[in-house]
Amino acid sequence: MRDRYANLARIRTLDPERDHLEIYQTMLRREFCWDLKLGLNLAFNRSFSIPRIAAVHTGTGELTERTQQRIDDTGLLMYEMVLNGFDQPRGREALRRINQIHRRYDIDADDYRYVLACLVVVPIRWLERYGWRRPCCHERQATHAFYRELGRRMGVTDVPASYAEFAAWFDAYDAAHLHPNDDAATIERATRMLMLTRLPRLLTPLGNSLVSAMYDAPLRRATLLAPPGWPIRAGVHLTLRGRARLQRWFGRPRRTPLFADGIRTRTYPDGYDISRLGPPPPPAG
């Protein structure tokens, strides 16, 4: 049982500002692998559901017509930055590619902040509810610091200065802008398979209802989903809480970090070129 908290003990010796990358890497690759990947999927689903952002995505057709590839591209670019940081060659290249992709669209500054807030707040709140342990203050602060730095390198200004402030900003923006809209519903139906692949195998027969149960009420409203019945919602909650307890009591720290052998995706079974991830450039002229 002592080993179960070895990573946490080491994290608490680090500085969450200076060492934010190491802490965030430990969270993703060793402590909360399945939960943090799922939390990031939920974060992207939510960010796609703000009407202004959803309209951009349905306008390009990338998420609705080339769903698997766009999902894989987004994950690869994000994980390359987490695995390598922003100053190593692959991390720099992933960041450069993200900036190239977004430069062609007229995106409101608050919408950029909202996407960052989703990536910070949604996974942390998932871990607070369903992780095998709650994230500590160092982990919350390091998560905020990682995405604040990502925002700085993307030219996003006025990012709230702490996790608590960013969470409060997220809630206020969510309440003001996360409204029911057809574009969000279209994207959710197209990208639902991303969530279905994250479910434990025993739960796949009830996949669609279970995915809806993992959304909170504001996200279901925005994507025009009826809430699943209370037995499904209760079953999902109890199953995830039971899984967390089993991991806490019987789990062991991961010896081999996630992605130690590279990042595998359905779209690129033989590898990928970072500079070619994402939608192709528009035709010249």
In a domain, residue 229? The reply is yes
Give the C-alpha separation, 221 to 275, whole Å.
Answer: 37
Query: Does residue 270 lie in a domain region?
Result: no
Does residue 201 carry a pLDDT above 90?
A: no
Average pLDDT over residues 20-44: 96
- Give the residue numbers spanning the domain of 45: 2-259
pLDDT in tens, 48-84: 999 999 999 999 998 999 988 999 999 999 999 999 9
For residue 279, report the phi and psi dihedrals to the nearest 5 degrees.
-65, 150
* C-beta atoms surrounding 67 within 10 Å: 17
Number of residues that make up the chain: 285
Residue 67, token pair as written in the block: 């769903």
- Quickly list DSSP for 165-184: HHHHHHHHHHHHH----HHH
Determine, yes or no, domain membership for 269. no
Region 197-215: mean pLDDT is 79
How crowded is residue 271: how many other Cβ atoms within 10 Å of its Cβ? 9
> Residue holding tokens 């010896």?
255
Please tell me the distance from the alpha carbon of residue 143 to that of residue 27, in angstroms, as a whole number. 9
Asked, for residue 186, whether it belongs to a domain, the answer is: yes
Residue at 101 is within a domain: yes
Among 11-25, 84-98, 204-218, whose mean pLDDT is lowest? 204-218
- Predicted TM-score (pTM) of the model is 0.94
Per the structure, the count of domains in the chain is 1
Rg (CA), the chain: 18
Residue 194 has what pLDDT?
67
Q: Convert the pLDDT of each residue in 144-183 to its tens digit.
A: 999 999 999 999 999 999 999 999 999 999 999 999 999 9
With beta carbons less than 8 A apart as the criterion, state whether 116 and 151 touch.
yes
Instruction: Find how far residue 113's CA is from the centre of its chain.
Output: 14
Confidence of residue 284 (pLDDT cuts 50, 70, 90): low
> Alpha-carbon distance 18 to 134, whole Å?
22
264 is a domain residue: no
